[in-house]
Chain A
Amino acid sequence: MSAPLLSVEDLRVSFPTPTGRVEVVKGLSFDLGRERLGIVGESGSGKSMTGRAILRLVRAPGRVAAKRMEFEGTEIQSLPERRMRDLRGARISMIMQDPKFSLNPVMTVGRQIAEALQAHERLGRRATRERVLEMLEAVRINDPERVASMYPHEISGGMGQRVMIAMMLIPRPSLLIADEPTSALDVSVQAQVLDLIDELVRDHGMGLILISHDLNLVSRYCDRIMVMNAGRVVESCAASELHRAQHPYTQGLLAAVPRMHETRPTLPVLDRSQWSGT
């Protein structure tokens, strides 16, 4: 694993406001191999913008700048938009938060997945269909033939998210960015979906960036964790070391989660004056 899959140096994302440009990501650097990286933070910490910036999905007037942003050795920033489109989906995929809003409501599930495949590969109709059914089976959908002919409103949230995963993985990308993939799902289904992502990522030797606000969840499914606050990484550690986190922000986030054996009369709330930045 000599060359990292993705290498980012000094990534900055900014948006204009009436009082001047505001940076929402302030100089982020990291290298990602074929491993699972978790990015954790509250809303507004810049974690989702980081994911979008990698895919060059930050729209004007937002502005992205980085000293270096290389994917498989290619600088992404200078790629023309056409080359970028070949990369998106085919090499780097992103799973969005809510299947309800990310699936096309007037297209059957099977056609949507096929479309994702046809955008990047030239395949005959029969081969496409086979790949679609195979993929649906891989995301553990019991009756792929039936589900492929259904519309998004006819399937449940958990199944919708599995369809999304199928769609994102069918062109066999080497990096998967999952932005809160399970926050719209039930606890019981959450674990299933994450186990599935985990298994597929391992089997295909992909890199994974899991973006979430849930520290415990990220620590279970990732090798490494970056904790972000106000556009900066405040702490970076191995997932197994999370409970030994040093930064008050990380400790605060950990303490704010209610526990199954809850006895505390009130939950500790983040004291935002404790650290600089905000």
Chain B
Amino acid sequence: MSKSVYMDNNATTYLKKEVLDAMMPYYTDIYGNASSKFYAVGREAEQALYKLREKAAKLLGAANVNEIYFTGSGCEADNWAIKGVANAYKRKGNHIITSKIEHHAILGACEYLEKHGFEVTYLDVDEYGRVSPEAVEAAIKDNTVLISIMTANNEIGTIEPIKEIAEVAKKHKIVFHTDAVQAIGHMPINVRDLGVDMLSVSAHKFHGPKGVGLLYIKNGVRIDNLIHGGGQERGKRAATENLAGIAGLVKALEIAVENLDKNVEIMRDKRDKLIKGIQEKIPYCRLNGPVGDDRLCNNVNFSFQYVEGESILMMLDMNGVAASSGSACASGSLDPSHVLLAIGLPHEIAHGSLRLSVGEDTTDNDVDYIIEVLPPIIQRLRDMSPLYEDFLKGENK
């Protein structure tokens, strides 16, 4: 196998060399514990941590440096936002509003809270995956304490109307969290412009390291402590800081923000070429998610009728292409993707989904290669499919 094309940038991205270079000194030279202030190498770590936090705050548009809380992942940031706010406000109310297409980190935390006396409204989305701000407002009750809607969907790329939803939340004085894990590096993110109270970030989605994320928590929002045992992160998340990881996150964020316009243009171009090529070459397919500016610049998601997603992935892999699918087999559960079901796809169409997510380094050559190898794969699987056979017989009647 000669050619290798990575088309799963919504899953994770490679670590940039410059990011790794920014991390290394914190493993080998500035290895002190940032809480050990009575000697030089500890103080150096403490000062470095402050500067990194300051930079992250600036890059995200936070008003204060102390609104940035580093975490061990995007999932952790999401879990903390949901459970931490729900518990801190439970004397005020026990109702949470979210959507049916959130990441499992949000849905799982909400389901956990439901078992502990909370009530959760999972809002429907339209056929493109859009949450309506009017529906959010209509779902608000006297006991609503938290709204959480993702900035952009990881499977079908829907960009949600976060500003409008934030206004609704503000009007009703309800804490608003957004999971921006897929959005960073793919669209401008400024917490004050968006008007959100909390926002989750994960470094490895924009060429940073795995195992580090952050949660922006606007001053004034109450949240329960996540990890007990030390004064780190203002006493809210104990644990010796992963300084190298944090340095990697901040460096990757800096590069992503500085190059945003250029990168978005590249990814949008590759995305649109992929969509166009697939639509031209493969019949009986459906683009899942919105088109144009309402779609994440790097996400492509198609359903191919009469075939199953895992088989597509395996055949793509044999051709050196890394991609993902929302089929039940690919998701490791009995049901296909909750996102595809929420936009109204029947199970059999959802099973035949394929997500291709481009990166800033994706070339026209890569796109052409996909458009060359994918159509025969789909045709081969269709030729093996009893559903396609039935379809053809129906056509010939």
Our verdict on whether A and B bind, yes or no, reads: no
Interface residues of A (CB under 8 A from B): none
Interface residues of B (CB under 8 A from A): none
